[in-house]
Amino acid sequence: MSERPVVLVAGASRGLGLELVRQFADRGWTVIGTARDVTRAHELIRLQGERPDRISIKALDIAKPESIAALKAELGGERLDVLYVNAGIMGPSHHDPRRVTDAEFDELMLTNALAPIRLAAALRGNLRDEKSVLVFMTSQLGSIARNEGGGYDLYRASKAALNSLTRSFVAKLPSPRPTVLSLHPGWVKTDMGGTEAPLDASTSVAGMVDIVEAARGTGGHRFLDYQGKEIPW
């Protein structure tokens, strides 16, 4: 009997992250889900209770280097087939560069752009082999080529920064390299996406998990939406 593949989902306490844990587990994966405050991750705890043989929970505040280091130490030599970096925030509701405070801007850029790269760098050695997949949850709003009307300026900037940092990170990875995906989940009904979003989390995540499973061992770095369509950088 073959060993189950292992995925770590960073930012799994709610929304898309929680649904990623659910669907990977339903497909037979061993899933490690992280939460900033494990004691308050009630839905993730409930899901783990339903699938204790497949789901484990670990603490991670992706914005704190010491928390990343603690997770790295706790994982030890655990091998991952997929590292899915999902954690992120929307930033201030006004999205206006003229009104944002330094603290708000720093938090947005740290959480959405810098912290995911720090986590990927820390856990790069845990990826099993060149068939592994490293996934960054980004947004089509991070596409500079598609930005013809503005809007969500600060969030756009954070995701464009993430995309740029990801490209640089991938370029410097030693061979053999994992497959790297920058995935846009679509506009989804979540706490971040809001109730007006046209897409449900189950549909978005099913598409992304399909892409991840098909990408194992294919190599390269691609910017795709949840349906597998290429997005220009």
> Can you list the domains of the chain with their CATH numbers?
6-225 (3.40.50.720)
Please, what is the end-to-end C-alpha distance for the chain in angstroms?
42
Reported confidence tier of residue 115, pLDDT bands at 50, 70, 90: very high
- Is residue 170 a contact partner of residue 177, using CB atoms and an 8 Å limit? yes
- Entry pTM: 0.95
Q: What percent of the chain has pLDDT over 70?
A: 97
pLDDT at 85 over 70: yes
Residue 136 CB partners (closer than 8 Å, separation 6+): 85, 116, 120, 162, 166, 180, 181, 182, 183
What's the pLDDT score for residue 225?
97
What confidence tens digit (pLDDT) does each residue in 152-173 have? 999 999 999 999 999 999 999 9
pLDDT at 65 over 80: yes
Question: What mean pLDDT comes out for the span 116-131?
Answer: 97
What's the pLDDT score for residue 193?
64
What's the pLDDT score for residue 160?
98
Q: What value does the mean pLDDT of the chain take?
A: 95
Question: What mean pLDDT comes out for the span 211-233?
Answer: 97
CA distance 109 to 92: 12
pLDDT at 192 over 80: no
Reported confidence tier of residue 199, pLDDT bands at 50, 70, 90: confident
pLDDT at 2 over 80: no
CA distance 46 to 38: 12
Question: What mean pLDDT comes out for the span 94-101?
Answer: 95
Q: Is 86 helix (H, G, I), strand (E, B) or coil?
A: coil
- Is residue 91 a contact partner of residue 158, using CB atoms and an 8 Å limit? yes
pLDDT at 31 over 90: yes
What's the pLDDT score for residue 1?
34
